[in-house]
Chain A
Amino acid sequence: MGAHAGAGHVHAPPQGFLWKYIFSKDHKVIGIQYYLLALVAVFTGMALSVLMRIHLVWPTVKLPFFSGDPTPEQYLALMTMHGTIMVFMVLTTAPQSGFGNYFLPIQIGAADMAFPTLNMMSFWTTFISFVCLIAAFFVEGGAPISGWTAYSPLSTLGSISGPGEGLGQTMWVISIAFFCAASLMGAINFITTVIDLRARGLTMMRLPLTVWAWFITAILSLLAFGVLLSAGILMLLDRLAGTSFFIPGGLVVSGVVQSQHTGGSPLLWQHLFWFFGHPEVYIAIVPGMGVASHTLSLFARKPVFGYRAMVYAMSAIGILGFMVWGHHMFVSGMSPYTGFAFSLMTMAIGVPSAIKTFNWLGTLWGGQIRFTSAMLYAVGFVTLFVSGGLSGLFLAQPSVDLYLHNTYFVPAHFHLVMGVAAIFGMFTATYLWFPKATGRKLNETLGKLHFWITLPGTYAIFMPMHYLGLAGAPRRYADATAVQFLPPLQPIQHFISIAAFVTIAAQLLFLINLIWSLKFGEKAETNPWEATTLEWTIPSPPPFDNFAGHEPSVYRGPYEYGLPGYKEDYLPQSVEPGKLVTEAGD
């Protein structure tokens, strides 16, 4: 067990607006900063997708901010930036750096993260990354059009390969490079904190599953982002310094022979990108799994079913996550034998995911389920993860993927897991922890209304995409009717767009709830949910040093709900055994 945050926290709170709110080193402030960044990013990303959905169904409608009829490259730019903003600035920030920063130290009984200054630097580096990314819209040529995956040579030849491929693509790469640095800083902080700053009595197997999830996610980040950074540097050199890492020779682009490049490998970019890219999607979902497990147990009033198995399953997902990247490349021209090996590993990674699903059901079975908004979103996470995860089984097999690759079946799959399930994880965490962070509860009526539009709404958007994919409709098409077998599928596109408009509009309910409740929400006491973990033992909102100088001691696991023989149906982790009230009243 690591050394613990001893009693006697000595430092004084910072003075001045700049040090309290802007360059704060307090993990709670930094967590909120990341959350707010993600909030701005997610609404930006949704706005981009609204513009995309309008264009696909009403191609002649003039979109706001665009002069004239939208061009195909404008559509592709919207798509590229939508993907990049959502994957990096939303899914890789809020679940891990937002909620993790805020609650990981508290859940382990620490006064702050191991390296508060590094923490502050990691947020501001992320912010710079976001600014560089948005700047791509405004530079000459506009935003890049090569997708968030930026395959070479489309992304490395410069503007000759397409509009937006000039300075826009360069800004994109620079943004990603900053993001990699920020993520690595964050990962070092998270892992050190979990290893070294746990409170007395808090063994690894007594950690809440949220902490396990943040821990495993941080390890994935630590090992994956360095690879993306290296790939980004190679790409920048190809674009700006005349090297040929990813650009082969013999190219003729728009009639111009590209004699300055020889011998590079587009496949090399794909390998490097996806070596990062696959762990990245687990970075996006694992924190949500942690929050879901945590919340399901809390509101079912019984322990997580198979805590150890959950830990092993998340660890297995993490490890296997580094061995499956080739399943994005079955038809790329990579060796088919390698492809088959990747396929078997990918089918294998479905196993721990299935185990987690069964354990979630087991957690609910026999429970006393309290349907708060947080619980609804946790249940929503499970159904979405099942739906989205199972379509992965089709894509994991190269023979079936031959047909489905790069059709709408792929966005159907990844949106359900990343674009919805992971987001539901964030909603769960928000409804669960908003009272602790602000001292007020979110409005439950608005919360439930939000849920009941969003769950059917997101299913209405993304389930039909499977059918588009089965019919063979390729993705990333600026014109959804361009190929002759596509027009009969337009009714589906129509339906998806309408569903998207309604569902995205409903997210305003969430925003309204957040803002309104900050001022007018019902006051929350210390432990409104009758929960066991350490964050529910400190005031809402917490004092600046969390435990006010008293390091807690932990006496039991994090999910002691429903234990027979006690007056309460929950046993907080830090209450001494002698102080628990039994059923007999003593």
Chain B
Amino acid sequence: MPGATITDDLEISSTGGAGGSSSPGPPEGRGGGGGGRGGGDGESQPGAHPRGVSRRIYYTGIWLALAAILMFFMSLVSAYIVRKSSADWRAVVLPRVLWLNTAVLLLSSWALEASHRAWQREDAKAFRGWWAAATGLGVMFLAGQWVAWRELAAAGVYLATNPSSSFFYLLTAAHGLHLVGGLAALLYVLSRDWLRLRASGGVAAEVAGIYWHFMDGLWVFLLLVLTLGR
């Protein structure tokens, strides 16, 4: 029965970024960067898709994933709006650290953009530096969210204390979990060798960046909902 090798494309995490299409040239190009089938990046790792399969699938894929994630969060926000209209709604006081966390997250997106500019200049060191900064700021954001949770707990406000706190914990937890996934992607890119990243056309970095910026924007939106909704 036909099948695929295990060594090939764990898509985002596979070497070469895309399954096999690793020439840095235009998608149809057969030469460039090493020729031969299976990779122009010096890799011997083959992929499920022949060369020529565009890296486009990763962009399509990430936008679709974000659409699904958006529906998930919009559903929670709709539930929030409905639940808010009940008589027992007592808006939770948002810990001030949330604003700091937001600034940190926005900074991390800005750092990612700086790394993007470094990429375009082919400045490996700057790319790595800014990327690491973005990752670090991401970790800081999550730590800050944890601090916000501790603050609320110290004030005796837990998940089931009242509906407003339930939504607060739920929305921040859901966003945080998705952000952890984003961090994994950032760390993956950080762990990759510069030459391999270049050879793959930087797909992994771009796709991770799209996801990260979306999570950033999503956080701002959720914070607005939590703030204006009081």
Contacts and interface: CB of A to CB of B under 8 A. Distances in A.
- A contacting B, Cβ–Cβ less than 8 Å: yes
Interface of A: 2-14, 19-21, 23-26, 28-29, 111-112, 114-118, 184, 187-189, 191-193, 195-197, 222-227, 229-231, 233-234, 237, 241-245, 249, 262-265, 268, 271-272, 275, 542-545, 549, 551
Interface stretch (B56-64, B149-157, B194-202): B56-64
B53 A5 contact: yes
B2 A12 contact: no
B82 interface: yes
Nearest to A267: B82
Given A11-B47, A26-B2, A545-B2, A188 B68 contact: yes
A230 B76 contact: yes
B112 interface: no
Max chain A C-beta neighbours (<10 A), residue from B1, B54, B56, B73: B1
Nearest to B51: A6
Contact of B163 (A7, A24, A188, A243): A243
A571 to B, nearest CB: 27
A166 B52 CA distance: 53
Given A10-B37, A112-B48, A264-B86, A118 B4 contact: no
Given A8-B51, A244-B163, A272-B79, A24 B65 contact: no
Contact of B75 (A187, A230, A264, A545): A230
A11 B5 CA distance: 7
Interface in B1-53: 1-6, 8-11, 19-20, 27-28, 37-38, 46-53
A111 B49 contact: yes
B67 to A, nearest CB: 6
Contacts of B98: none
10 contacts: A8-B51, A10-B50, A11-B5, A11-B8, A11-B20, A188-B61, A188-B68, A197-B57, A226-B71, A263-B87
Given A10-B37, A243-B166, 19 more contacts: A2-B56, A6-B50, A11-B38, A19-B3, A24-B4, A25-B3, A26-B1, A111-B48, A115-B61, A116-B48, A184-B65, A197-B49, A197-B53, A230-B73, A233-B170, A243-B163, A268-B79, A544-B1, A544-B4
B193 interface: no
Interface in B133-167: 159-160, 163, 166
B163 A29 contact: no
Given A29-B2, A264-B86, A3 B27 contact: yes
B217 to A, nearest CB: 17
A188 B28 CA distance: 24
A264 B50 contact: no
A227 B57 contact: no
Interface string B166-178: 1000100010000
Interface in B72-112: 72-73, 75-76, 78-79, 82-83, 86-89
Contacts of B50: 5-10, 111, 549, 551
A223 B11 contact: no
A244 B64 CA distance: 32
Given A243-B160, A243-B166, A262-B88, A227 B60 contact: no
Contacts of A12: 5, 46
Contacts of A195: 60
B3 A115 contact: no
Contacts of A544: 1-4
Contact of A3 (B1, B56, B67, B73): B56
B114 interface: no
Contacts of B163: 243-245, 263-264
Given A243-B163, A245-B79, A192 B5 contact: no
